[in-house]
Structure 1
């Protein structure tokens, strides 16, 4: 069972939801999960792309009143020497 917290990104417009999610997830351990709550319609494209680019796993996504929620699992750390 995973303990998950929620990161409220509602009201922020692209690219802020992804930039803030990236910073928050960088401080997490691999395997930890975080719900991202957004109201930006572009987040439905941006969050999955962010996960794919950064090696995180998109576990779940759901439409909620006025926005979306994404459950993201922190992926492994980036290899050192990455350019």
Structure 2
């Protein structure tokens, strides 16, 4: 996986901070948040679990959603997910 995708931070319609939660909770909470959004809206997720990188990229490959941007920092992982 890439440490950074193109650095163009999309505008998020909602932000979800799942810092401190371990797999599978970050993804489960993100799925619930995405369900509440309308199509084309963007959810920003901030996680600290290293496994979230694998989980989120696998999730969007199996769904209609899209990761618009991803940023890996020292202690956190940020995802901007557009609802499909």
TM-score range, shorter chain: 0.7 to 0.9
**How many residue pairs were aligned?**
75
Gaps of 5+ in 1: 76-83
Q: Determine the C-alpha separation between the residues in 2 that align with 1:54 and 1:3.
A: 19
When normalised by structure 2's length, the TM-score is: 0.81
Residue 15 (structure 1) aligns with: 24
Residue 49 (structure 1) aligns with: 58
Q: Deviations over 1:15-49 (max 9, x none)?
A: 00111111110111000001110000001100111
Q: Deviations over 1:58-81 (max 9, x none)?
A: 100001241110000001xxxxxx
Residue 33 (structure 2) aligns with: 24
Residue 83 (structure 2) aligns with: 74
Gaps of 5+ in 2: 1-9
Residue 46 (structure 2) aligns with: 37
Q: Which of these residues, 66, 72, 76, is aligned with residue 63 of structure 1?
A: 72
Q: State the SS of the aligned residue for 2:62.
A: helix
Q: Which has the higher contact order (CA 8 A, sep 6+)?
A: 2
